[in-house]
């Protein structure tokens, strides 16, 4: 049964905080596309986010695995306000992660919480891969390697401090499509690593 919250209220957050696992931080996820990465991470970690927010009102495009999760739909400005207001509950024990969220967070939102984003390009070695379509850029530049990073979110695109980084070789047979698939798997590995460390024990 689809458990979608279409009208977000303050009580929604209060209810989620009341039912969260007290042994770990409150985990909030944002997405704009299918939410497939959130589903995969929930499977790998063995628990779901406490709150999922999306600005994608086309529910038919969501991953089927979200059908049993509570997803709140809101416009970007409202989502930013929600994230900023999470500090009213517990700003030291809240982790926000972005998974294909296609809007830039304003400074007031970016600095309000511990927020992470993944990027499918090795911007440690190749800063040119910042921004849109890093997989296509890597192929066009004929790079011999690329990778994924998870970084803290800032108002500037892909400029936050990098907290996790993995690299892979690009083979001669790789295409943009094959690289996208490889980097998706690499991204899952990175996310699982950081979230297991960050979410299993309150710090």
pLDDT tens digit string along 83-129?
999 877 765 689 999 999 999 999 999 999 999 999 999 999 999 99
CA-angle at 150, arms to 144 and 155, nearest 5°: 115
Lowest mean pLDDT among 9-18, 39-48, 86-95, 178-187: 9-18
pLDDT tens digit string along 56-89?
999 999 999 999 898 999 999 999 999 999 877 7
State residue 155's pLDDT score.
86
pTM over 0.75: yes
- Work out the average pLDDT over 120-148: 96
Q: Where are the alpha helices (DSSP H) in 6-68?
A: 10-19, 36-45
State residue 9's pLDDT score.
53
User: Which strands make up the sheet holding 94-98, listed edge to edge?
Assistant: 3-5, 70-73, 51-54, 26-31, 94-98, 114-119, 145-152, 162-169
Rounded to whole angstroms, the Cα distance separating 95 from 157 reads 19
* Structure tokens, 161: 């401090």
Residue 177 has pLDDT above 90, yes or no: yes
* Structure tokens, 116: 């992470």
Residue 1: pLDDT band (50, 70, 90) is: very low
Where does 74-200 show beta strands of DSSP type E?
A: 94-98, 114-119, 145-152, 162-169
Lowest mean pLDDT among 15-19, 59-63, 142-146, 160-164: 15-19
Secondary structure letter of residue 61 according to DSSP: G
Length of the chain: 203
Range of the domain at 180: 3-199
Helix (H) or strand (E) holding 90: helix 87-90
pLDDT tens digit string along 4-38?
554 455 555 656 655 565 667 899 999 999 999 99
CB 115 within 8 A of CB 194: no
State residue 199's pLDDT score.
83
- Work out the average pLDDT over 191-200: 89
Rounded to whole angstroms, the Cα distance separating 192 from 131 reads 23
- Work out the average pLDDT over 177-182: 97
CB 98 within 8 A of CB 107: no
Provide the CATH number for the domain around residue 165: 3.40.50.170
- Number of domains observed in the structure of the chain: 1
Residue 203 has pLDDT above 50, yes or no: no
């Amino acid at each position: 049964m689809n458990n979608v919250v279409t009208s977000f209220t303050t009580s929604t957050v209060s209810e989620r905080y009341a039912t969260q696992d007290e042994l770990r931080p409150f985990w909030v996820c944002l997405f704009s596309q299918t939410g497939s990465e959130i589903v995969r991470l929930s499977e790998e970690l063995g628990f779901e986010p406490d709150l999922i927010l999306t600005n994608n009102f086309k529910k038919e495009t969501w991953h089927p695995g979200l059908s049993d999760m509570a997803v709140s739909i809101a416009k970007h400005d409202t989502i930013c306000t929600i994230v900023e207001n999470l500090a009213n509950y517990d700003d030291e024990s809240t982790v926000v992660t972005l998974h294909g969220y296609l809007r830039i967070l304003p400074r007031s939102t970016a600095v309000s919480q511990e927020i992470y984003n993944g990027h499918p390009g090795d911007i440690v070695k190749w800063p040119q891969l910042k921004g849109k379509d890093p997989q296509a850029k890597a192929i066009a530049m004929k790079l011999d390697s690329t990778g994924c990073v998870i970084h803290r979110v800032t108002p500037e695109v892909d400029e936050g401090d990098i907290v996790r980084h993995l690299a892979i070789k690009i083979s001669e047979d790789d295409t943009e499509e094959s690289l996208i698939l490889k980097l998706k798997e690499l991204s899952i590995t990175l996310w699982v690593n950081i979230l297991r460390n960050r979410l299993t024990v309150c710090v």
